[in-house]
Each structure stands twice: as C-alpha cells, then as structure tokens.
Amino acid sequence: MVRIATWNVNSVKARLPHLLRWLAEAKPDVALLQELKCIDEAFPRLEIEDLGYNVAVRGQKAYNGVAVLSKHPIDVECTHLPGDGDDEQARYIEVFTAGVRVAGLYAPNGNPVKADDGSLSDKFAYKLDWLERLHHHVGGLLKTEDAFVLGGDFNVIPEDGDVYDPAAFKADALFRPESRAQLRKIMYLGLTDAFRATTAEVGCYSWWGYRAGAWAKDHGVRIDFLLLSPQAADRLTACDIDRTPRGWEKASDHTPVWCELADAGDPS
C-alpha cells in the first residue's frame, strides 16, 4: 500500500510547524506540496529529512514553488511543464517514487479574468494555456500505461457541488466555463478523480479563504485533487480530504487530500 497526499501549504516557511506535525500524524508515503513561496536553498530540507523523507524541490522566489516528499528514493523526471520553454513559473514537478509516477502541480489562479478594457486578462489566458499544456503532457503520459498520480492545486472547481455558492463564483477564474472545460478535457483523456471515485457527497471542500470567516462558515471550494491514470485507479482503495490542519492556528487556506493505492499485483 502507498499513501499519497497533496497539500498547498501557502508558504513552507510560515507553515513548517504545521507541515512537520501533519507529516508525523498523517504519515503519507508521498506528499506533494504547493505554494512553497521560497527558493530551493531556503527549503527546510533538513527538518523534513529528519522525519524520514527524501525531498525533491522546484522553488522560486516569493511565489509558486512545488515539492515532492517521499519515504522512498525519488527519481526526478522533470521540474517544468513541457510546452513553453519561456515559462519560468515553478508550478510542476514529476518524479518516480514508491513504484509510481507522481506529478505535483500548482495550476495558475487566473484572476482577474478580465483586463481593464474588458478583454480576457493575461493571467486568465496563461491559466487556460497552462491547462492546455497539461492536457497535452497527460496525453503523452497515458501512452506509457504507467500507474501515475497527478496531484495538486488545480485552481478549478469541477461542479456546482464543489463550491458553497456557485453564484458567488460565477465570474471567478476558478469556476469560469473555460476553466471547467479545460479540466474536463484533461479528465476525459481517462483520468479518475480519486475523491469522486470514493464518494458522491457534495459540499466537500479543500480550500477556504482567509476573509470573512470563510472557514467558520464552511464557505469553501474543492480545487485540490488526486487524479489517477487507469492503472493507478485500479489500485485505489481509499481517498479523503483531511480537514484537520485547516482548523489549526495560523493555517494554510488549503487542507490536505490523500489517497491510498494497493501494491501493484495485489487483488483489491
């Protein structure tokens, strides 16, 4: 069995006590982290290695940044989403570890959708383009027929049941039809949303903003996913959202999502 989790920590330096506590308590075999908000050299590697994890980081100054932690050795496949060599933003890391190909990603937010002149903003265009690059890359990965897990902060709300108030998010880049269509396009390649494969319950969220008491009112959205290739989906035994860290003092605005895969060859 391998337990794989994803968590947007919103600054690994600010969240280090939470991260160490969560790793010790939840004990994921593989953890995908997003929004490190630090350069590689500033990543708290030693503290995490002390808990028995290997570390692969693609950091950046001030913004973005992704990492993979694993109890098993890590072979880094790439630290850049293919398709635009000029894209400097640290939003993608892909590795082999624990016998599985695992990619951690932090998709662009895309807000504001409109520029001052009413046309689509550069940020929203970048988001859609980035998701198109992801679509192309996933298409290639599926041809390998590997078991793989694509996890992270996708910054897209899939369905009405994944947001506390669909009307309030109507114009938001996370819920715009263009964004949702891009996510569907990726899903329709043949990926399984691990959370949706294990529950039909709606109103289950992974992000609650800091403003206006959103957490206390459960005003959240579900934008953090673990997407499975067919070979990984065959091995899925459990998946859930762990709301606990969101309730801690000085929490990230996201909370972890985890899944468990049976070992290859084990009957499920």
The answer to whether residues 79 and 125 touch, using CB atoms and an 8 Å cutoff, is no
> Of the two residues 46 and 62, which places its CB atom closer to DNA in the complex?
62
Rounded to whole angstroms, how far apart are CA atoms 53 and 98? 12
Q: Return the closest-CA partner of residue 259 out of 105, 150, 162, 160.
A: 150
Helix (H, G, I), strand (E, B) or coil at 103: strand
> Of the two residues 13 and 184, which places its CB atom closer to DNA in the complex?
13
Min dist CB 153 to DNA, Å, is: 8
The answer to whether residues 91 and 129 touch, using CB atoms and an 8 Å cutoff, is no
Which residues form the interface with DNA (CB under 7 A)? Answer: 10-11, 13-14, 37-38, 61-64, 108-109, 111, 123, 209-212, 250
> Of the two residues 90 and 147, which places its CB atom closer to DNA in the complex?
90
What is the CA 61 to chain-centroid distance, rounded? 20
Which helix (H) or strand (E) segment holds residue 237: the answer is strand 236-241
Min dist CB 100 to DNA, Å, is: 28
Strand partners, 249: none
Rounded to whole angstroms, how far apart are CA atoms 196 and 93? 24
Which residues have CB under 8 Å from 116's CB, separation 6+?
none
At position 35, the amino acid (one-letter code) is E
Min dist CB 258 to DNA, Å, is: 21
DSSP 254: B
Helix (H, G, I), strand (E, B) or coil at 232: helix
At position 67, the amino acid (one-letter code) is A
Min dist CB 60 to DNA, Å, is: 9
User: Which residue is associated with the tokens 């506390």?
Assistant: 164
Min dist CB 44 to DNA, Å, is: 11
> Of the two residues 107 and 228, which places its CB atom closer to DNA in the complex?
107
> Of the two residues 2 and 38, which places its CB atom closer to DNA in the complex?
38
> Of the two residues 139 and 213, which places its CB atom closer to DNA in the complex?
213
Min dist CB 188 to DNA, Å, is: 26
> Of the two residues 15 and 71, which places its CB atom closer to DNA in the complex?
15
Min dist CB 208 to DNA, Å, is: 11
